[in-house]
Structure 1
Amino acid sequence: MSLDIIDELVKNLKAPSTRIFKNREILHPEYVPEVLPHRENEIRRLAEILIVALRGERPSNALLYGLTGTGKTAVARYVVKRLVEKANSLNVKLEQAYVNTRKLDTTYRVVAQIASSIGLKIPPTGLAISEVYRRYINALENWGGVHIIVLDEVDYYVKREGDDLLYKLVRINEELKSSRVALVGITNDINFVESLDPRVRSSLGEVEIVFPPYNAEQLFDILKQRAEMAFYPGVVDDGVISFCAALAAREHGDARRALDLLRVAGEIAEREGSPKVTVDHVKRANVEIEEGRVQQSVMSLPLHQKIVLKAIIEVAKLKGSATTGEVYLKYAEIAKELGLEPLTQRRVSEIISQLDMLGLVNATVASRGRHGVTKVIRVRSDLVKTVDDLLKDVK
Structure 2
Amino acid sequence: MNCWRNYTRFRTLYQILDDLGATIDIHRQSTPHDELVDRLQQHDGPRTVVILDEVDQLEDPSVIYDLHSLPQFAIICIANKEEELFSRVDDRLVSRLRSSEHVRMDKYHDEQLYDILRARAKWGLNEDVITDDQLYRIADAAAGDARLAIGILRTAASKADRENQERITNDILLDAAEDARAQIKQKSIDSLTPHQRVVYNIVRDHEPLGPSEIHDRYTEKVDDPRTKRTVRTYLSKMVQYNLVDAEGTSRDREYSLVGSEAASPMQ
TM-score range relative to shorter protein? 0.7 to 0.9
Give the TM-score normalised by the residue count of structure 2. 0.77
Aligned to 1:303: 198
Higher relative contact order (CA 8 A, sep 6+): 1
Equivalenced residues, count: 254
Question: Residue 324 of structure 1 is aligned with which of 202, 210, 235?
Answer: 210
SS in 1 for 2:165: coil
Question: In the TM superposition, what whole-angstrom CA distance separates every residue of 1:139-167 from its partner, at most 9, and x where no partner exists?
Answer: 32xx2x3221111111112xx2x122111
Checking the alignment, whether the CA contact within 8 Å between 1:183 and 1:204 is kept in structure 2 is: no
Question: Residue 200 of structure 1 is aligned with which of 76, 89, 93?
Answer: 93
Displacement of 1:235 in angstroms is 2.5
Q: 1:224 to 1:309 in 2, by over 3 A?
A: same
Aligned to 1:23: none
Aligned letter for 1:259?
I
Q: 1:331 to 1:154 in 2, by over 3 A?
A: closer
Aligned to 1:150: 51
**Alpha-carbon distance in structure 2 between the residues aligned to 1:105 and 1:346:** 17
**Alpha-carbon distance in structure 2 between the residues aligned to 1:383 and 1:334:** 28
Aligned letter for 1:272?
E
Q: Identity, % of aligned pairs?
A: 25
Question: Residue 190 of structure 1 is aligned with which of 82, 95, 113?
Answer: 82
Structure number with larger C-alpha Rg: 1
Question: Residue 364 of structure 1 is aligned with which of 237, 247, 253?
Answer: 247
- Gaps in structure 1 of 5+ consecutive residues: 1-98, 174-179, 313-321, 368-372, 385-395
- Gaps in structure 2 of 5+ consecutive residues: 263-267
2:10 pairs with 1:108: yes
Checking the alignment, whether the CA contact within 8 Å between 1:112 and 1:122 is kept in structure 2 is: no
Aligned letter for 1:375?
R
Checking the alignment, whether the CA contact within 8 Å between 1:240 and 1:278 is kept in structure 2 is: no
**Alpha-carbon distance in structure 2 between the residues aligned to 1:149 and 1:344:** 29
**Alpha-carbon distance in structure 1 between the residues aligned to 2:109 and 2:187:** 27
Checking the alignment, whether the CA contact within 8 Å between 2:9 and 2:63 is kept in structure 1 is: yes
**Alpha-carbon distance in structure 2 between the residues aligned to 1:344 and 1:204:** 24
Q: 1:239 to 1:123 in 2, by over 3 A?
A: farther
**Alpha-carbon distance in structure 2 between the residues aligned to 1:124 and 1:297:** 31
Q: 1:220 to 1:307 in 2, by over 3 A?
A: same
Aligned letter for 2:202?
I
Aligned letter for 2:205?
K
**Alpha-carbon distance in structure 1 between the residues aligned to 2:219 and 2:69:** 42
Aligned to 2:265: none
SS in 2 for 1:139: coil
Q: 1:133 to 1:244 in 2, by over 3 A?
A: same
SS in 2 for 1:208: coil
Question: Residue 167 of structure 1 is aligned with which of 65, 88, 93?
Answer: 65
**Alpha-carbon distance in structure 1 between the residues aligned to 2:182 and 2:103:** 33
**Alpha-carbon distance in structure 2 between the residues aligned to 1:211 and 1:152:** 14
Question: In the TM superposition, what whole-angstrom CA distance separates every residue of 1:248-280 from its partner, at most 9, and x where no partner exists?
Answer: 1x2xx1111111111111111122111222333
Give the TM-score normalised by the residue count of structure 1. 0.55
**Alpha-carbon distance in structure 1 between the residues aligned to 2:36 and 2:238:** 35
**Alpha-carbon distance in structure 1 between the residues aligned to 2:236 and 2:78:** 21
1:22-41 matches, within 5 Å, as none
1:365-380 matches, within 5 Å, as 365=248, 373-377=251-255, 379-380=257-258
Aligned letter for 1:197?
D
**Alpha-carbon distance in structure 2 between the residues aligned to 1:186 and 1:195:** 15
SS in 2 for 1:148: strand
Question: In the TM superposition, what whole-angstrom CA distance separates every residue of 1:180-199 from its partner, at most 9, and x where no partner exists?
Answer: 32111111123122321111
Checking the alignment, whether the CA contact within 8 Å between 2:203 and 2:257 is kept in structure 1 is: no
Aligned to 1:245: 139
**Alpha-carbon distance in structure 1 between the residues aligned to 2:209 and 2:12:** 39
**Alpha-carbon distance in structure 1 between the residues aligned to 2:119 and 2:81:** 29
Question: In the TM superposition, what whole-angstrom CA distance separates every residue of 1:196-231 from its partner, at most 9, and x where no partner exists?
Answer: 111112223411111111110011111112222222
Aligned letter for 2:62?
D
